[in-house]
Structure 1
């Protein structure tokens, strides 16, 4: 069935009427004018005007016969109509073109980025199709040696095998695996890979050797370490002065110290020994030899009957202390009125050689006793810490009379109380240094007091300028003072108590 579009529409009924396809457009125009009149949404008006600007054919125009030629009047009508709409279309199309041009510019920029990324992937071959690439596994000490290795090492460690064409790609994460294997950065692996691909593209043999040939890099400065012996000792007290004297950096000198090429030495002052002192020390050492072992196999005596006595100042605290703290722990804060007014007490100590039985059990520990040089006296004035008349501890002056009093009233009774019974008939020697406060070896008052004990106790002086001949000065006092610092001593009484506790322990 063929419908003649040139026939007039039927008057009756809706079945013969052509649908008004421009009805939607009219509604849109009406809505656009309403929105513009009310001023609700200018963007909506623009969008509707843009839709209206699109070229629309009015299918409800008066029908015409497509099989016949149009008359001159009809052609003029159509030309005028087409000209009017053409001007409007050109204006709208220009606006649409600008929008399309902006979109195309954005697409071009995105396309350029994609092409750059594709070139990057083409160069380095990451995240591409998988191929089998084999590297020679070679454990190198560090990245510096890999980057500056010779040609053979670089060629062997980064030789890419099983490569059939330049279109082959590395497997994913291959560069990361190789970088971790040889302890280098990923950029180093990518640079060598790109260099190999360039060689293949140019048709030449792949060569990834280092461009640093021969002896390259900073040369090691050779310094004659024997020159250190010629430098004065005053210029060798620290790293800075020694480095300046040698003309080398401090870091170089510190590296030599770590390598053991130079050593550190701590020096302490020693007593000056005259010729008479040396002879006396030698005579003292010879007197300690066992006569029964001479002359073939000389041996020293056990010295079980020798008691060492000496005095020592014990301090309640130190000016500087070292602590190991938790990171969030609050740092301690100590105050004192005067750093030179820290509480200290002088003690007199007496020790002997300890004794053990055949089974190794200690029968005598050798500790006679330790006594502080203090006295108790009533306070003359009232203070915020005590009332007047309260007994307080005060140090006493130590002179020869004080030493004689302590030797007779404290040392002799302590020896008699703790000395082993099996050695009561042997001579007991009390060894002391040559301090002026000490008793002479023939002191009459001391001899009378010894006679009352029933023991044979005598005094003997060690060689002058020889503190190493007495075990108290040799290390006992230092150890006791170090242990006392581990306790808190807020006053003189606490200090005395702490020293006694550490001595007994």
Structure 2
């Protein structure tokens, strides 16, 4: 089979270099075949192109014009490129424009095309990331929380998959009052899981359960389970799996369902929870791990961008990690930083094992 190479198109800089090279290797206004052959090999073009360029160069010299070339190629223009239907976009409701995936479905286009429109600034995305104001105490508590999760990450209730990608546990216990959480966890927890040490995380809202409640302690330490209850750091929705992405994923599903009553809305939320894939939930847990690393690098601040890990591509390649590795130097620096402050800050987060490991005791 004969190999046919594509014709190379020189940019402005290459054209000017070629013209000056030909002039430098010419003699009395003539550029011999040997020089033209060498130029064709040097610039990766055909000898016919070199001859044509030499003719243009001589024409400029004879007319007294400077030997300067500029490429006429301004980029490929696709006449069949699909354009944004502005009127159709305007007709979409706010909910229908809330995510790229949903908007692409409503417009009848692919997500990649919609992403290209945004890149070409034919559409302008809008996000409203209002972040809580953090005190120094908040920042230290956040760092201690991140460090404690380096130890306890394996106990989080995230989906579990076999080596060939088969789902073993979807990670979804259910939606119900807190009083029924522990029985539901024990019922749904996979029998194959050797670890039964579970940490339930809740925010700092007052209606939540007290970890010192006698009934909770009895229920949490029976049937071979050891269940602890911790609160996330104050002003830290980015350290809560639900706030970080789980609720957003559910909302994008339930927004497509019509509800005219409170009962209907509740049912839509429950249905959307059931429809949410374990892959999406697992991705949220990985994103949380990425946020833990970013927070430690930012010394507890929330002034960082949520990391994008290309999870979809890694999943297709079967290279999606179970957990994100943390650099030891970052852990040491974080421990040194938190130890500069009062020891009574963030005492509910156990970092003793890390301190012993790195010799801080």
TM range (shorter): 0.3 to 0.5
Q: Which has the higher strand share?
A: 1
Higher relative contact order (CA 8 A, sep 6+): 2
Max Rg structure = 1
Q: Which has the higher helix share?
A: 2
